[in-house]
Amino acid sequence: MRLEELRRGLLVEGVSPDGAVTLKSVESGGDGTVEVIFKDASGRIGERLLFRSDEAKLEVVREDGGWRFDGDGARFRLATEARRIGSAYLFDPLLAVHTSLVDPYPHQISAVYEQMLGRQPLRFLLADDPGAGKTIMAGLLIKELIARGDLERCMIVCPGSLVEQWQDELRGKFGLPFKIIAREQVESSMTGNPFAEEPFAICRLDHLARNEGVKEVLSETEWDLIVADEAHKMSASFSGGEVKPTKRYGLGELLSGITRHFLLMTATPHNGKEEDFQLFMRLLDADRFERYFRGGRAQKVNTADVMRRMIKEDLKKFDGSDLFPPRVAHTVPFALSAAEHRLYEDVTDYVRTQFNRAEQAADGRKRTVGFALTVLQRRLASSPEAIYLSLSRRRKRLEEKLKEARRLGRLSRDTGLDTLVSKVEDYEDRLGAGPREVQELEDSDEVEETEEEVLDLATAATTIRELEGEIFTLRSLEEQARALRNGSGDRKWVQLRDLIQNKHLGIGRAVAAEGPNGEHPGHPRKLIVFTEHKDTLNYLERKLVALRGEGWLVKITGGMNRQARKNAQEKFLNDPGTALLLATDAAGEGVNLQRASLMVNYDLPWNPNRLEQRFGRIHRIGQTEECHVWNLVAEDTREGQVYRRLLEKLEAARKALGGKVFDVLGEMFREHSLSDLLMAAVRDGNRGTVGRHVTDALDFAMEQERLKEIIAGQALTHEAMDPAVIGSIREDMERAAARRLQPFFVA
């Protein structure tokens, strides 16, 4: 740069060794010199005489007070677009909707934009019915908070079977890059804390709850939002005047303390006990819900400001029509064959005798024996295969125990007892239930292994002679079960076979044309068969393959890996030749099977909430056909009599009160759990009958006026989508669409 080009106001490099300076005065000194007065970046004033030899060092940075338009236009547009997108939520109140691959329904818009988004901080329970699209609501919430600059770190905590599904949904529908943090990531973390490394994480519930080291690392992090799916698993119980927390509940307390926004999502927040419900709500606000306990009892409290519950019968489309088709439950009673009835009575007598003997034992033995016998009774009702294998395994393990006792000359009362008690306690802790109430499963294979181990080893025998007598009884029962298993007298299988072959249902037969209920031409009617036990599932698989061949069915169990489960689900949903899915309750959570509209409960769960959970696999958003479920009930068993009475009263209540009765199944049994009633029927009933106290308790639970009160009580905590509300939401969406972010591009 020549000395003659220097003038006041220029920002010039090469004048001062401290960097660029602003020229305040420029005077020519003649003979090729210029005297300048300048101000440096720190504001100091200086002066210098410049010579021709300095020209090579001089360079103009810019002219003070002026702008040039020779920059990179693409970068300028990128910068302005970034600024525009960052401010888009100020003009587009539904930004996440317009930048995601979703088409939300009125109840989803209401939940995110009216109920949750405006809360600071957000501490909320989203308790809409199964299949209402709670994952979509969570995704919209996360994306809106990111757009508004209110979320930089987010964690999803869910059952292990759902982590990949969450990851797929958030990436595919919302473009959110969540990463799964599992055991491998914890062990290979460079910093030792993978939770601090990942701003968007998905974690398995039990991986966090059952590892103290992992929880300690997690406690050192902070989050803007944590979403807990199937949050009812993080429950505690209140009995005997004291709180009985679980490891999962402890995790819930930890999560509540390390996040600003906390969203719990579950379709079954209430198990019928107000104390347990308020303990659950303490995860959101410990101070508020602590004070409602008075004298060992919880006072009912209005939770409308921290909870939203919508049931399927209240959900509507934008045109005002029902979002869900009707759902109908059918009871299929059947009589046991002579061989089945004899086996049932003999096994039940064995269970009752062992229960009575266990009542005299110490608490630990009583607990494990009671647990084992309850499992045995449930497997007796499931299938000949399940009871045969259970009896066989138990007999073999007790023979090993007898052999050891004879070697020692005595039967040790404490052999393995501590281990068994620990396993039962861990089992109960993971299920959040008592030993007889099998609730939500995370890994059904692992749970079934625990059941089998306790069932095989727990015994009320205290002497070698008593153990010999028990083994003798088991051999006799095992032979009866073997004969029944290898014969043709399984009446429950006959009922399922007849149902499958019913021409009016057309299971496996392609629909010829568009049907009145929205059936898709070319797709067969599809059926799901649920069972609690893998032994029964394998038994049914052999029977069904013998009935129609290999290719027409698939199965889903808890022990299958993610890809195998996904492949089975995809084949069932999309292959016209696959008409039947066999599933344990591993498929009862988070699996979307609305291509099917027919379902069979081959064995009935002892937890009534499980009925709704299973039904929710097919009765969910996207279902177009009327949904039907058939419950197979052996009418000449004690449990069958209880269940048949329950299902008949449930159907009568459905006709009188509508489908809402399915949504309060858990609350019907506040005073006496269904599992307690079933076991009481087994233990106390006369041969072939059920005790009066059991039927009275059941009648009280299902009394229609009481059900009306429960349903009305739920109305205090759930919203209803009336036409005016839907119309208002539709108008808001139209206005937002007109004001939404316009191209160049949309994130």
Q: Give the structural domain span for 19.
A: 3-63
CA 511 to chain centre: 33
Contacts (Cβ under 8 Å, ≥6 apart) of 136: 102, 104, 108, 169, 173
Mean pLDDT of the chain: 81
In-domain check, residue 75: no
pLDDT of residue 664: 62
**Cα 681 to Cα 462: distance, rounded to the nearest angstrom:** 27
Question: Looking at 467, 486, 505, which one is the last position of a domain?
Answer: 486
Query: Are 109 and 251 in a shared domain?
Result: yes
Q: CATH number of the domain that 23 lies in?
A: 2.30.30
Q: Which of 42-46, 521-525, 640-644, 655-659 has the highest mean pLDDT?
A: 42-46
What is residue 516's predicted lDDT score, i.e. its pLDDT? 39
Say if residue 15's pLDDT is above 70.
Answer: yes
The CATH number linked to 659 is 3.40.50.300
| 562-571 pLDDT, tens digit each | 788 888 988 9
What does the pLDDT read at residue 457? 59
First CA to last CA distance, the chain: 46
More confident residue, 430 or 225: 225
Query: Would you state the structure tokens that stand for residue 463, as one six-digit string?
Result: 């002497």
Kindly report, residue by residue over 105-160, the tens digit of the pLDDT. 999 999 999 999 999 999 999 998 888 899 999 999 999 999 999 999 999 999 88
Q: Give the pLDDT mean for 415-425.
A: 51
Q: What's residue 447's pLDDT?
A: 59
Question: CA 605 to CA 610: how far, in whole Å?
Answer: 6
Q: Which long-range contacts (CB under 8 A, 24 or more apart) does 640-643 make?
A: 640/333, 640/381, 641/681, 641/689, 641/690, 642/677, 642/678, 642/681, 642/690, 642/694, 642/695, 642/698, 643/604, 643/678
What is the 3 state secondary structure string of 617-664? Answer: CCCCCCCCCCEEEEEEEECCCHHHHHHHHHHHHHHHHHHHHCHHHHHH
Instruction: State whether 518 and 414 are in the same domain.
Output: no
Last residue of a domain, one of 471, 486, 501: 486
- pLDDT given at position 436: 32
pLDDT, tens only, 283-331: 999 888 876 555 556 667 778 889 998 888 888 999 888 888 888 888 8
What torsion do the CA atoms of 567, 570, 571, 572 make, to the nearest 10 degrees? 120
| Residue 81 placed within a domain | no
pTM over 0.85: no
pLDDT confidence band for 435 (50 / 70 / 90): very low
Q: Is 569 within the bounds of a domain?
A: yes
Q: Do 567 and 588 fall into the same domain?
A: yes
In a domain, 578, yes or no: yes
Whether 716 has a pLDDT exceeding 50, the answer reads: no
> Is the same domain home to 248 and 124?
yes
Given 451, 486, 521, the domain boundary residue is: 486
Residue 250 confidence (pLDDT): 94
Q: What percent of the chain has pLDDT over 90?
A: 33
Same domain, 560 and 663: yes
Q: For the ranges 196-200, 617-621, 740-744, which has the lowest average pLDDT?
A: 740-744
Of 347-351, 437-441, 450-454, 716-720, where does mean pLDDT reach its minimum? Answer: 437-441
Which helix (H) or strand (E) segment is 406 a member of? helix 384-408
The two beta strands, 200-204 and 123-126, are unpaired
**Residues 574 and 685 grouped into a single domain:** yes
71 in a structural domain: no
Over 50: is that where the pLDDT of 442 sits? no
Most confident of 407-416, 639-648, 702-711: 639-648
pLDDT in tens, 229-283: 999 989 888 776 777 888 999 999 999 999 999 999 998 787 667 788 888 999 9
Judge if the upstream peptide bond of residue 121 is cis by omega within 30 degrees of 0: yes
Residue 500 belongs to a domain: yes
User: Is the model's pLDDT at 221 over the cut of 90?
Assistant: yes
Answer yes or no: do 289 and 422 share one domain.
no
Bigger pLDDT: 212 vs 353:
212
Q: Give the confidence band of 707 by pLDDT, cuts at 50, 70, 90.
A: low
Distance between CA atoms of residues 129 and 313, nearest Å: 10
Neighbours of 59 (CB within 10 A): 12
Model confidence at 431: pLDDT above 50: no
DSSP 8-state code for residue 87: T
Q: Are residues 41 and 175 in the same domain?
A: no
Residues 426 and 510 occupy one common structural domain: no
Query: CATH number of the domain that 128 lies in?
Result: 3.40.50.10810
Band of pLDDT at residue 541, cut at 50, 70 and 90 = very high
**Which of the two residues, 433 and 372, has the higher pLDDT score?**
372
Query: What pLDDT is attached to residue 62?
Result: 65
Q: Is the same domain home to 145 and 196? A: yes
747 within some domain: no
* Confidence check: pLDDT of 427 > 70: no
What's the total number of domains in the chain?
4
Distance between CA atoms of residues 249 and 278, nearest Å: 13
pLDDT at 417: 46
- Amino acid 470: pLDDT: 87
Indicate whether 428 and 463 sit together in one domain: yes
User: Which tokens belong to 701?
Assistant: 């639970």
Whether 209 and 281 share a structural domain? yes
Q: Is 70 a domain residue?
A: no
Tell me the longest C-alpha to C-alpha distance in the chain. Answer: 127
- Return the percentage of the chain with pLDDT > 70, whole number: 80
Query: What pLDDT, on a 0 to 100 scale, did the predictor assign at position 531?
Result: 92
